[in-house]
Amino acid sequence: MVDRVNENVHLIGSASIQMYNMFPWLGPWINNLTRLKKNVADLKMEVIELVRGLKETLNPHMCRGFVDSFLVRKQTLEV
């Protein structure tokens, strides 16, 4: 996950993506853009799976991190 984020940072800083930001009509010809979009989609799926796993093993009395505290707060607001 960290490697993918690192790669995304490098891609966003690349000249081709900066050209795309100035001239969006160049999008179909920029390979880094498709790789960046794929990485973002993969990262989104990883985060969804991570949150799903944390939600399944949630113990409201033992907070393991930010996601747990968010889920506990969400549960208390729903009640």
Domain boundaries, the chain: 2-78
Residue 56: per-residue pLDDT: 92
Contacts of 62 (CB under 8 A, 6+ apart): 68
Would the pLDDT of 1 be above 90? no
CA-based Rg of the chain, rounded to a whole angstrom? Answer: 18
pLDDT above 70 as % of the chain: 100
Question: Whole-prediction pTM value?
Answer: 0.75
26 pLDDT band, cuts 50/70/90, is very high
Would the pLDDT of 42 be above 90? yes
Would the pLDDT of 69 be above 80? yes
